[in-house]
Structures are given as structure tokens and as C-alpha cells.
């Protein structure tokens, strides 16, 4: 249960960060829900491209991000509870997901920008990006306080 709590915590922050980048991309005639909408993001907004890269790396479970810690604990829990087949399926799913995440990275860094329309910014979105980036990297670099927090959060519901 601790692994699930940790994963839910990190998944929340890395997804909120990725969606905050998508929200900043919204313009009058562009929703931002297609991969091609991210084309050339590095040329238009390098900071947003780097942030999105970090969130995608975390979603893929690449160290030193929160996603790595979350997936590590999920895989460890599956192995400790002898759910080996499920662990193999989970790892296979993670490998397949890498392909989809890196399609977005290729679009952001290697494709040409369709236009040079400036992206929307707001103080609220900037704060949201800052908080989500901080948590995503802090959990990846120094996970112990978050692990303790996750254990304490589920303690009332489960006795250890």
C-alpha cells in the first residue's frame, strides 16, 4: 500500500506539471492536444520545452525524477509479494510507454515550429509549474521524506 501511495503522490505532480505546460500552449485556435501541436516548442519556448522534457522523463520513470522512485516502489512491491508475472507486464508496459513519451520529445526538439505565436503565460501557471517541477525533482533526488509521508498517510487505514 505504501508503494501505491508513493506512486499516486508522484504521479499527481508530474501529470499536473505536464498538463500545465499543455495549458500554456493553448491559444485561440490551438487546443494543444495533438503531438504536432508541440512541434518546435524548443525554438518557441525553450523553458517550457525543458520543463515538459523533465515531466516526460519522470512519467517514463527515468532517474533522478519522482517517476523513477514511484515505479521502483511499485515494481519492488510486486516482486516482494511474488507477483512476478504482473511485474514483468508492468515493466513491459513501461518500456512501451517510453516510445510514446519520446515521440513527444522528438516533436518538441526536432520538428519545425508551425508558427511563432507567443505562448500564454500567467502567474498562477508559473507557480504551478514551479511547484510541480520542485516536487518532481525533490522526490527523485531525496525521496526519504516523501516515503515517510506516504507511510504515515496510509497508517490509519492499514496496520503494519
User: In whole angstroms, what is the distance from residue 96 CA to residue 83 CA?
Assistant: 20
pLDDT interval class at 44 (50, 70, 90): confident
pLDDT at 22 over 80: yes
Q: What is the per-residue pLDDT for 27? A: 63
Q: What is the per-residue pLDDT for 140? A: 94
User: In whole angstroms, what is the distance from residue 15 CA to residue 106 CA?
Assistant: 19
Q: What are phi and psi of 118, to 5 degrees?
A: -65, 150
pLDDT at 160 over 60: no
The predicted-structure confidence for 104-145, as pLDDT tens digits, reads as follows 999 999 998 877 777 777 899 999 999 999 999 999 999 999
User: In whole angstroms, what is the distance from residue 35 CA to residue 33 CA?
Assistant: 7
Q: What is the per-residue pLDDT for 115? A: 74
Q: Are the C-beta atoms of 53 and 129 separated by less than 8 Å?
A: no
Q: What is the per-residue pLDDT for 23? A: 86
The predicted-structure confidence for 56-115, as pLDDT tens digits, reads as follows 999 999 999 999 999 999 999 999 999 999 999 999 999 999 999 999 999 999 998 877
pLDDT at 29 over 70: no
Which runs of E-coded beta strand occur in the chain?
A: none
Q: What is the per-residue pLDDT for 113? A: 82
pLDDT at 48 over 60: yes
Q: Give the dihedral of Cα atoms 33, 37, 38, 44; nearest 10 deg.
A: -130
User: In whole angstroms, what is the distance from residue 101 CA to residue 77 CA?
Assistant: 25
For the segment 38-43, the average pLDDT, to the nearest whole number, is: 89
User: In whole angstroms, what is the distance from residue 113 CA to residue 103 CA?
Assistant: 15
Q: What is the per-residue pLDDT for 30? A: 64
Amino acid at each position: 500500500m505504501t508503494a501505491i501511495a508513493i506512486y499516486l503522490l508522484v504521479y499527481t505532480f508530474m501529470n499536473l506539471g505536464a498538463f500545465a505546460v499543455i495549458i500554456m500552449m493553448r491559444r485561440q485556435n490551438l487546443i494543444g492536444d495533438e503531438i504536432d501541436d508541440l512541434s518546435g516548442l524548443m525554438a518557441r519556448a525553450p523553458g517550457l520545452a525543458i520543463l515538459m522534457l523533465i515531466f516526460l522523463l519522470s512519467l517514463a520513470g527515468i532517474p533522478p525524477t519522482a517517476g523513477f522512485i514511484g515505479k521502483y516502489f511499485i515494481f519492488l512491491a510486486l516482486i516482494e509479494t511474488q507477483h512476478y508475472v504482473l511485474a514483468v507486464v508492468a515493466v513491459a508496459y513501461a518500456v512501451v510507454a517510453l516510445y510514446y513519451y519520446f515521440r513527444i520529445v522528438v516533436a518538441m526538439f526536432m520538428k519545425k515550429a508551425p508558427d511563432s505565436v507567443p505562448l500564454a503565460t500567467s502567474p498562477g501557471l508559473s507557480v504551478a509549474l514551479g511547484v510541480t517541477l520542485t516536487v518532481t525533482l525533490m522526490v527523485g533526488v531525496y525521496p526519504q521524506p516523501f516515503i515517510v509521508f506516504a507511510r504515515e498517510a496510509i497508517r490509519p487505514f492499514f496496520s503494519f
